[in-house]
Amino acid sequence: MKRQNQSSVVEFILLGFSNFPELQEQLFGVFLVIYLVTLMGNAIIIFIISLEQSLHVPMYLFLLNLSVVDVSFSAVIMPEMLVVLSIEKTTITFVGCFAQMYLLLLFGGTECFLLGAMAYDRFAAICHPLSYSVIMNKSVFIKLVMFSWVSGIMVATVQTTWVFSFPFCGPSEINHLFCETPPVLELVCADTFLFEIYAFTGTILIIVVPFLLILLSYIRILFAILKMPSTTGRQKAFSTCASHLTSVALFYGTANMTYLQPKSGYSPETKKLMSLAYTLLTPLLNPLIYSLRNSEMKRALKKLWRRKIDLHTV
């Protein structure tokens, strides 16, 4: 029987974009640039917020956590992806695949909850400005950040352990760029019906519910902004919210399409592109979205730069 042959699969082969060998070299160059820009952009945000005391408020501390998640997300996926694009057949061990899936789910789940917490922070700041310091005090902020990280750890632990408790009897080729749950699950030679029910329910709770709460928060925020008497105040509030909404739409939209799709919903190549949208583009664009549109971030960067120049001239 198939179950008896499960020990024959000791490692997986990541196929990547092997159907398009002529594009491998160009894609390697593009992804390498994306990886370096992502690391640099998020590192700058972490650096600025960590060193500038005026930015040690919930809004920017949430952003610091988001940048840590995005850097980690990229570090888990991009090096392996670059290897896949540079070698004809890339193998990854069971342990390596388990670790990659675990960390991918950990950081992905944490980002879902962090984006939800950031929406709540904007809701409190715009809809209840006079009592904001009470609603979003240090204790509440720490609890929201801890909840986001602990939830990501729990999701990753349950889902990854369950997936790798199934027998893998062969074939061992993962038609993907990295060890993501849906393509790995296709290689399981056992009944995965219960897991699929859990995964669908979990996705609803982890992705859809926070997304709906974010939408409700922004509906309330929109009405509050429209009631503001000051045009400058409305523009500032819209600018802050637009940054967050852009990140939310990009991350949740592509993650929903990846994890809530039926098995035969999309071709393997389409699935790869959708995965790339939230694993590559979100970490790449978040620093650009939040820093370029934010005057306080730019002001803090100039302040730190002037301080560095003054130290060198003394």
At 132, which CATH number?
1.20.1070.10
* Residue 175 in domain: yes
In this structure, of 74-88, 180-194, 239-253, the range with the lowest mean pLDDT score is 239-253
pLDDT at residue 5 greater than cutoff 70:
no
Structurally, how many domains does the chain consist of? Answer: 1
Model confidence pLDDT, tens digit, residues 249-308: 777 777 766 666 665 556 777 778 777 877 888 888 888 777 656 677 777 777 777 776
Q: Are 25 and 87 in contact (CB under 8 A)?
A: no
Structure pTM? 0.86
Helix (H) or strand (E) holding 232: helix 231-259
Residue 2 belongs to a domain: no
SS3 173: strand
Average pLDDT over residues 214-243: 77
**Please, are residues 148 and 155 in contact by the beta-carbon 8 Å criterion?**
no
Which is more confidently placed, 138 or 278? 138
174 found inside a domain: yes
CA distance 16 to 143: 39
pLDDT at 7 over 50: no
| Structural domain span for residue 74 | 11-313
Tell me whether residue 77 is exposed, middle or buried, using C-beta atoms within 10 angstroms of its C-beta: 0 to 12, 13 to 18, 19 or more: buried
So what's the pLDDT on residue 269?
A: 76
How many CB atoms neighbour CB 65 within 10 A?
A: 21
- pLDDT digits 0-9 by tens, 32-78: 999 999 999 899 889 888 988 888 999 889 989 999 999 998 999 99
The pair of three-digit structure tokens given for residue 217, joined into one six-digit string: 């928060």
> 14 has which bridge partners?
90, 174
| Residue 1 domain-assigned (yes or no) | no
Residue 6 belongs to a domain = no
pLDDT at 132: 92
